[in-house]
Structure 1
Amino acid sequence: MSKFKLIIVFILGAAGISNAQVASKNYLWKEATSAGYTYKYVSNDPTNSRFYTLKNGLTVILSPTNKQPRIQTYIAVKAGSKTDPADHTGLAHYLEHMMFKGTDKYGSLDWSKEKPLLDKIDSLYEQYNSTKDETRRKDIYKEIDKVSGDAAKFAIANEYDKMLSSMGAQGTNAFTSFEQTVYTEDIPTSAIDKFLTVQAERFRYPAFRIFHTELEAVYEEKNRGLDNDSRKVFEAMFAALFPNNNYGKQTTIGTIEHLKNPSLKAIRDYYNTYYVPNNMGVIMSGDFNPDEMVKKIDQSFAYMQSKTVPPYTFGPEKPITTPIAKEVFGPTPESIMIGYRFPGASTEDAQLLNLVGEILTNGKAGLFDLNLTKKQKMLSAGAFSYVLKDYSTLILQGNPIKGQSLDQVKMLMLAEIEKLKKGEFDSDLIISIVNNLKKNVLEENQNYSSRAGNLMDAFTTGIDWSTRVATADKLSKITKKQIVDFANKYLAENYVIVYKRQGEDKNILKVEKPPITAVEVNRESQSPFLQTVAAIPSNAIVPVWTDFSKDIERSKSGAFDVLSVQNKENSIFKLYYRYDMGSWNNKLLPIAAEYLQYLGTDKQSSEDISKEFYKLAASFRINTSNDQTTVSITGLQENFDKTVSLYENLIANCKPDTAALNGLKQRLKKSRENAKLNKAAIMQGLVNYAQYGANNPFNNVLSDAELDALTADQLIAVLRNIGKYEHTILYYGPKTGQQIASTLKPLHKSPATFMEIPAQQSFKKVDQDKNQVLFADYDMVQAEIQWVRNATTYNASVTPTIELFNNYFGGGMSTIVFQTIRESKALAYSTYAFYNTPQKKDDRYTMIAYVGTQADKLNEAIGGMNELLTSMPESEKVFTVAKDNIRKSLETERITDDAILFSYLNAQRKGLDYDIRKNVYESANTLGFGDIRSFFDAELKNKPYTYCIVASEKRVKEDDLKKYGELTKLNLQQIFGY
């Protein structure tokens, strides 16, 4: 659950039409009192956020919005891996995991009997931690394993998850980063009293039970990190940039040595030091009355006592005077990362840094976008700012095309930095950036989850909210000279460069598997606290179902059907052209869609078109799947005509460019080579092979010879003809359906007759009539296993049973699979199992199960999942939780905005003309365990499966693989088709 984040979010205070309007606003802290509580707020803040500081120092930040009857909550602690003790790195992350284990009041059958055993485990770990003799350490660990098993008899695993699931919570999770540990829930508004009762208890006195199995999950997370080359590059970059700060000296998950020698005492000390109200924040956005909410939060957390929090101190970093080069090795494709060091988040320079990142990369008109990506000089190139409390960084990332060295990539990116320093960019680019950020904030403020996330990030990073909401105003006043001066001040030979090279990482050390005896999970037990929470009354929320006949306006624009939903919140529009054809109809479609981004017309170059879209704060994209193609055009309604005309002119008048095609071919070949080095892509290929056989949708691509023979005229013909096929127009925006149909008619003209859609290549799912093993070799520490079984054809009537089965069996942290594989047997960090519903009525369901585990646990992991797929455990309590979660989630789920349109289209593909969620909801109360038992017995029990396994041949034995079925070792040509 650690957080590996390389993003920066802008929060803009202005959503006006012109820069003059933006500049006229002030963003000042003001104070107000309501319902007996004083709070601060920022004038002209579009989120209407209130900032409270309670008597004990707890920060409460509330941003109300009643669009959906749900609340995104974050409980944030201003402490993370940066404040880990040097001799116990990874401790904050450990603690994050343990905060899900309960307290003396919940998660325990009998605290008086459990507590002495937990104390003994604490003591044993201290002995283990201080003992160097390996024989003695093994003896101590055996005792830890034994006492842990005894203690687990009094533990109720996952009781926290059960309580939250019963409330209808979604997204139960947490993450740890450099200076933050954050606990997150998305809850129904009606569950707020239950939620606060649980959270107040959760933070009162966490009990560190079921520790050694959870520690094994952390081991698994560490091993996943060892298999993640991107993470290794990032850690190498920060180690070189920040040798004096824990940003670089420590990692979030910690060292292997410290993982092997945990101290529960040190974890408790850390909790007592940093988990205090004056170092914490409760952040919420959603449907609530802030006057009532702050009172509830105050009453819930008033017991917490403030305490002096030791400040984090560090020696200032010495200036970098010459480039520092590092190397990282691994199986993934080669790349480079360049990083510059900047001042911290609260400085003016950090604000300018965000703008510099946008000037370099904004997806359309940045220097990297136009000069490197658009001209295909590199496979990919990007630049972004990463703002932290003590320091910030500007990160450049680049991937080479075929035959290009990493040093050539470096020189290309640094050449763009020199252009920045010389001012070789359009003067109006800053205005365009501001316009796009204005649009982004409109979109973000529509979403209660985005609001809460932005507020939480500002709180933990220490950025003044008034500064964040004033960003657009400040950026609109920045001059080109200021940017140039800033770039010359900070960007010189003062960078760190990390070369990610392909090859064996000889420094890698996996966390070895300790012997663990499966522990009790006591599924059927409930603490009195859980029963108390369940008894807390909650207001009933009436579910709202989508009525496709009423919620969608239907009109005609020429020969096209127009389906629309009006946006009554802001000026954003989203326009879609939806075609019932895809790569199965024409393999050239996805290539043509990619080719278009490099093309111009007789009157405009490709670069000119990109700049124009960016000036309009607009964008377009063509997405092609197996059997559908969607053109997406978004922007501000005031620029609707210009935006649509820009796309229509490009698609109608794009001219062939042989040089651009040659560049695209090289990029595609390199991308194809890189895919063969990506374990996720390899697994996707194996799963497709298991579902469809040797010829499948995954390897349904052009051969190398076909790609070489492809001409520009062929792709131009595909692009120019796309509008001549029958398609549906979808619109979400401020206009009515009739208005937009009328506006579109001269912009998007219908042909006299539609062209016939090419015949679709057919792929049919195969039957698994015997156990098979598909294996692909990959240099990795872990082993990844997926079980695949194709089942019956889609049947709408069994949807409620399937939803309930997934919620009970393997779709979340309160399910049977998670409790057994992770909590009881400590076999994986990540595991799940679900019965996957097809997208079309004539397609078949597929059962998918997954375990990512250490290679030396492969047999145990497969055995554990096979046991569950053969004999599904029965738990009345877990079943009740599953039913409650479905019912309460659906009561508060609202399909809104353009999602209404896609919900309708998705229903159509299944042969439905109604919102099937209503059927699921109404059936939730009537279905019994016997229904999902019958479903399991008919569809899954004792059925053959295809095991898809990606692992290193050095770490798994062929004889072990053969135990599970007929073994086929697939090479990359067979998997990828090229």
Structure 2
Amino acid sequence: MNIIKSTVLLLLGVGSLQIAAAQRKYEWKEASSGGYTYRYVTNDPMKSRIYKLKNGLTVMLSVNKKDPRIQTLIGTRAGSNNDPKDHTGLAHYLEHLLFKGTQKFGSLDWAKEKPYIDQIEGLYDTYNKTTDPAARKAVYRQIDSVSGIAAKYAIANEYDKMMSGMGAQNTNAHTWTEETIYQEDIPSNAIDKYLAVQAERFRDPVFRLFHTELEAVYEEKNRGLDNDGRRVYETLLALMFPTHNYGQQSTIGTVEHLKNPNLRVIRDFYNEYYVPNNMAITMAGDFDPDYVIKAIDNSFSYMKARPVKEYKPAPEAPIKAPIVKDVLGPDAESVDLAFRMPGALDTRSSVLLSVVSQILTNGKAGLLDLNINKQQKVLGAGASLLSWKDYAILSLSGKAKQGQSLEEVKDLLLGQLEILKKGEFDATLVKAIVNNAKLGELQGLESNENRANALMDAFIKSKGDNWLNDVGYVDEMGKVTKQQIIDFAKKYLDNNYVLIYKRKGEDKNIEKVEKPAITAVEVNREAQSPFLAAIAAMPATPVQPQWLDYNKDIQKVNVGNTEMLYAQNKDNGLFRLYYYFDMGSWNNQKLPLAAQYLQYLGTDKYTSEQISKEFYNIACNFSVSSSSENSVISISGLQENFDQAVKLFEHLLANCKPNEEALAALKGRIQKSRTDSKLNKGAIMKGLVNYAMYGSKNPYNNQMSQAELEALSAQELTDILHSLPSYKHRIIYYGPKSMEVAAAEVKKLHAIPASFKEAPAAIKFEKNSQSQNQVLFADYDMVQSEVNWVRNNGVYNPDNTATIGLFNAYFGGGMGSIVFQTIRESKALAYSTYAQYASPAKKGERYSTVAYVGCQADKMNEAIAGMNELLNTIPEADQLLETAKQGMRQDIETERITQDGVIFSYLAAQKLGLNNDIRKQVYDNINKLSFADVKKFHDENLANKPYTYCILASEKKISNDDLKKIGSVKKLSLEELFGY
């Protein structure tokens, strides 16, 4: 069944051809309930119902009663493939515009707004057809002027306000090659409200506030130009598909087309593809399917079916020789090679391709895993699948270690394909792949998001007709023979690949989307439409919050001289076992390195490769991780293999043997990783923020020096690993066994000393205090600039939790917040922006204010001024505040902390000095809070305070004089930021 996000199954879909063998166990059946007929597949663990309404709308439902929430998706089978050739990026534009409202919401007065909307549409049509630069500027000035007037009648983000008010989470949408999908995670009591809003949303959308949203898309394009990985991806597709739209039409669109939008063409696209026979609604969660299908039918019956023209391109010509291309950029170097494969509608090929992909890499026992990664022949290597209707792509990627060329990495990757084609792999690997796929299915069933995505994927691929094959997919994988794999590999994996070398360098051909002249528009924060009021007034059955009582909800039992925290898994046969240590890298810098080293070690009985195979064969996993103050050993998998898994890990930890060769390779890879991190803008910004919070000595640059790293011995690291269980730790068990049985098994398998060693004293990092404005600057070759504001505040106080939660939701926490509305919606200064008052994880530690804007370099000064204005003066919007309060209440009412989450909630509360569920205190206080409380909090903690501005940008695109106007400027070297 197609629900495993972490594997290729989610992408693969499978085809409309039905596999005869699967029909013996999995068959289409038809049933009726509540007056509606639906199809289902026998033995479907999701118990999915697939309806086709009279107007052609597909509805796919899967009930999961675990939490009182529902993951919803509304999708249309139209993406960048369907964009007109002269208007690429259009489907993505439209996705953004479907958040802007209709005649009924998003407008103060539609009758007065409409003439201006019509005028703007005409002006864009003129703009699209005008070529003279001066004339284009004149038309855009008109667009800007009329848009300013039209905005006076618009209510920005009213859609987001309605969804937040009903308790929706993760409001979002995405456009890809063959799909545009709109997602919401709603409370189970908000079904009627949700459907009322969505039915209106798709009835007759109004494309208002277009020119500010257009600027947001420009920003999104420029961010993509700064992303080397995205440019590699787009280059690979363009070479792989010289005629198919997969390669010829990027989702975001070309710069030229982005500069020349046409609202009338967007409307034509909407009218053609957003029709019920081309759309689906999928829902997974806690609901009555009979009620839901009737409600959906009543809400969407107004939609009328129309013929939809499918994109059916001519087949691509075969690739007969390697196609090689270099991509230049500032980030670390890498190599990607990819093969064009049959698409998801070729069911048999999809199954074989899935098995081939996982023989190459599955994280433990694949050819790349064992022959390259385990032996540390490169910095890192992997294989992945990308599957669409017409074609799939099998790609292999790798990064070079120190002193290694990309050509050498390429040869190593191709070498594994030769091994595959020769059949030099264990035939039992297929059985292990199937067992692990079944494990993934069990894990995936727990997630409403996985369920809904699997159903939507089936709709996009084949309108749901392939769901039978999706359900029986893993069974079909189990029938694949070794000879079939060899034959498939020989047929498809030859010199017919595209090869991309991502090299370090400057790409002088990058063309950014220039900033148009935009005047800030009204956002009418306080306004609300009668439609919003009607939605808010709709009755909803109350959902009662459920509080944790740590004294009752967590069972404890002594195991030797430590305690085991226990929660029972009553849903399936999976277990998770943890050894939880209150020590980490701040206690011993070498601990994370030892944890990393363990995966390359063998024992007197097993090689490292054999250990990986053993775990994979029994569908179990282990990991050892070490953070700043904690280390965690995790063992998980099928309970039937609990004894084997724990025994094998305990043997490894106690008997791992020093391996100087493996350590030398690991040191080399760490040194290369460090070099690569200095090329990554995200890593550099993280260093800036840590420097701002803690000063020159901070958790981020608390790294071993080069000399310390080189001096490490294999014996020293294995000694750390051998001694780990001798330090104080707690045991956590989540699984189907009773507490008594689980405790007895753990005691038998896990050796616990009579007394624990004292952990080394931890380094202390104290947040500093900002006394004046300061700029911390780092240079990076990029189109955009990124700015973080940092200020450390007072010490943690649980009594402030409700106020802080409300402040974050109101001020800077989402698309309906003050910050987002002002910076993006009103002023069009950034694609991404937020501000939050961040709470510490430990009692006695300090809060921090962190704000962010990512914008074009030439808009940085305006963006900084815009954020500063909000940090100093918080606007009052009573309706927005009430929406934030409603959202907080709904979130808490429908949140269910279950499984081992109860235990980790308890551990987190302990760190904060709490012995109760803080959510109850927050819930009880939400309604007591007013804007005066939020403003008082803002004024005391944010307003007119000094900040440290962390700025990452190209020195060529910003002025040092402008930086000096903010505060004293300190340009930081990469060595200062990273500590090496």
TM-score of the alignment, normalized to the shorter chain, above 0.5: yes
Give the Å deviation of 1:78.
Answer: 0.4
Residue 944 of structure 1 corresponds to 946
CA distance in 1, matches of 2:509, 2:24: 55
1:804 equivalent to 2:806? Answer: yes
Counterpart code for 1:192: I
Following TM superposition, by how much is the alpha carbon of 1:326 offset from its aligned partner in structure 2, in angstroms? 1.2
1:517-536 residue pairs with structure 2 within 5 A?
517-536=519-538
How far 1:313 sits from its partner (Å)?
A: 2.1
For 1:395, the equivalent position in structure 2 comes to: 395
Matches within 5 A, 1:38-117: 38-117=37-116
Q: Deviations over 1:196-253 (max 9, x none)?
A: 0000000000000000000000000000000011111111111111111100011000
Superposition pairs for residues 621-770 of structure 1, below 5 Å?
Answer: 621-770=623-772
Partner Cα separation in structure 2 for residue 143 and residue 91 of structure 1: 23
Hey, what's the Cα distance between the residues in 2 that align with 1:327 and 1:10? 30
- Structure-2-length-normalised TM-score: 0.98
Superposition CA RMSD, Å: 1.3
Indicate the residue corresponding to 1:9 in structure 2: 9
> What's the counterpart of residue 303 of structure 2?
304
Q: 2:100–2:157: 8 Å Cα contact kept in structure 1?
A: yes
**3-state SS, counterpart of residue 861 of structure 1:** helix
The aligned amino acid for 1:233 is V
How far did 1:461 drift? Answer: 2.3
Q: Which residue of 1 aligns with 2:377?
A: 377
Contact 2:432 2:619 in 1 (8 A): yes
Contact 2:560/2:754 (8 A) holds in 1? no
Name the residue aligned to 1:555. 557
Cα distance in structure 1, aligned partners of 2:304 and 2:234: 36
Distance in structure 2 (CA, Å) of the matches to 1:921 and 1:494: 60
After superposition, where does 1:256-335 map in structure 2 within 5 Å? 256-335=255-334
Shift of 1:25: 6.5
Residue number in structure 1 paired with 2:361 = 361
Is the partner of 2:966 in helix, strand or coil?
A: coil
Distance 1:8 1:691 in 2: 40
Given the superposition, is the C-alpha separation of residues 533 and 679 from structure 1 closer, same or farther in structure 2, using an over 3 Å criterion? same
Structure 2 CA distance, aligned partners of 1:476 and 1:7? Answer: 16
1:348-497 matches, cutoff 5 A? 348-462=348-462, 464-497=466-499
Where 1:814 maps in the other structure, the secondary structure is coil
Q: Matches of 1:47 and 1:725 in 2, distance apart?
A: 43
| Alignment partner, residue 926 of structure 1 | 928
Contact 2:334 2:400 in 1 (8 A): yes
Alignment of 1:138-153 (within 5 A): 138-153=137-152
Deviation readout 1:505-557 (Å, 9 max, x if unpaired): 11101111111100000011111111111111111000011111111111111
Offset, 1:308: 0.1
* CA-CA distance at 1:11 after TM superposition: 9.8
8 Å contact from structure 2 (residues 9, 354) kept in 1: no
Q: Separation in 2 of the partners of 1:85 and 1:301?
A: 28
Deviations 1:740-761 (A, max 9, x none): 1111112111112211100001
Q: Select which of 828, 834, 837 maps to 2:836.
A: 834
> Residue 540 of structure 1 aligns with which residue?
542
Distance 1:935 1:536 in 2: 33
Offset at residue 355 of structure 1 (A): 1.1
Runs of at least 5 residues in structure 1 that lack an aligned partner in the other structure: 14-21
Give the AA of the match of 1:584: W
1:224 is aligned with what amino acid? R
Name the CA distance, whole Å, in 1 between partners of 2:709 and 2:58: 59
Quick check: 1:894 aligned with 2:896? Answer: yes
Match for residue 16 of structure 1? none
Provide the residue aligned with 1:18 in structure 2: none
**Letter matched to residue 158 of structure 2:** E
Could you tell me how far 1:6 is from its partner in structure 2?
A: 10
State the shift of 1:8 in Å.
2.7
Contact kept in structure 2, 1:7 and 1:386, CA below 8 Å: no
Letter in 1 for 2:524: N
- Please state whether the residue corresponding to 1:288 is helix, strand or coil: coil
- Secondary structure of 2:748 counterpart: coil
Distance 2:477 2:126 in 1: 57
Task: Tell me the alpha carbon deviations over residues 137-185 of structure 1, each in whole angstroms, 9 at most, x when there is no partner.
Answer: 0010000000000000000000000000000000000000000000000
Give the letter aligned to residue 975 of structure 1.
L
Q: Which amino acid aligns with 2:242?
A: P
Q: SS in structure 1 opposite 2:95?
A: helix
Which residue number in structure 1 is paired with residue 16 of structure 2? none
Corresponding position of 2:817 = 815
| CA-to-aligned-CA distance 1:4-32 (integer Å, 9 cap, x gap) | x997335999xxxxxxxx98961111111
CA distance in structure 2 between the partners assigned to 1:201 and 1:24 by the alignment: 41
Whether the 8 Å CA contact 1:382–1:396 is kept in 2: the answer is yes
Amino acid at match of 2:396: L
Q: Is the 8 A contact 2:338 2:497 kept in 1?
A: yes
1:135 is aligned to: 134
- The answer (yes or no) to whether the contact 2:12–2:344 under 8 Å persists in 1 is no
Residues 9, 454 of structure 1: 8 Å contact kept? no
The answer to whether residue 247 in structure 2 is matched with residue 253 in structure 1 is no
Query: Contact 2:582 / 2:630 at 8 angstroms: preserved in 1?
Result: yes
1:865 and 1:635 mapped to 2: Cα distance? 48
Residue correspondence of structure 1 range 200-219 to structure 2 within 5 A = 200-219=199-218
Q: Deviations over 1:919-954 (max 9, x none)?
A: 111111111111111111111111110000110001
Check 1:12–1:670 CA distance in 2 against 1; reply closer, same or farther (3 A cut): closer
The aligned amino acid for 1:552 is: I
Q: Secondary structure at the match of 1:622?
A: strand
- One-letter code aligned to 1:890: I
Return closer, same or farther for 1:764/1:187 CA change in 2, 3 Å cut-off.
Answer: same
User: Measured at CA, do residues 10 and 819 of structure 1 come closer, stay the same or move farther in structure 2, by a change above 3 Å?
Assistant: closer
Unaligned runs of 5+ in 2: 14-20
Q: Is the alpha carbon distance of 1:820 and 1:121 closer, same or farther for their aligned partners in structure 2, counting shifts above 3 Å?
A: same
Distance 1:350 1:260 in 2: 39
CA contact (8 A) 1:39 1:52 kept: yes
1:506 aligns to 2:500 (yes or no): no
- CA drift of 1:604 comes to 0.4
1:589-628 matches, cutoff 5 A:
589-628=591-630
SS in 2 for 1:746: helix
Distance in 2 of aligned mates of 1:908 and 1:92: 49
SS at match of 1:450: helix
User: 1:705 aligns to what SS in structure 2?
Assistant: helix
Alpha carbons 1:12, 1:441 under 8 Å: kept: no
Q: What is the percent sequence identity of the aligned residues? A: 59
Query: One-letter code of the match for 2:631?
Result: T
Give the equivalent residue in structure 1 for 2:240: 241
Q: Is the partner of 1:157 in helix, strand or coil?
A: coil
Cα contact 1:68–1:287 (8 A) shared by 2: yes
The DSSP-based 3-state class of the residue aligned with 1:849 is strand
Could you report, residue by residue, the CA deviation over 1:25-59 in whole angstroms, capped at 9, with x for unpaired residues?
Answer: 61111111111111000110000000000000000
Equivalent residues, number: 966
Which amino acid is 1:95 matched to? L
CA contact (8 A) 1:23 1:476 kept: no
Residue range with higher mean Cα deviation, 200-209 or 619-628: 619-628
Deviation of residue 559 (structure 1)?
Answer: 1.3
Alignment match, 2:786: 784
1:261 alignment partner, SS class: coil
Q: Is the 8 A contact 1:10 1:471 kept in 2?
A: no
Deviations 1:454-499 (CA, angstroms, capped at 9, x unpaired): 1112211227111111111111111111101110111000000011
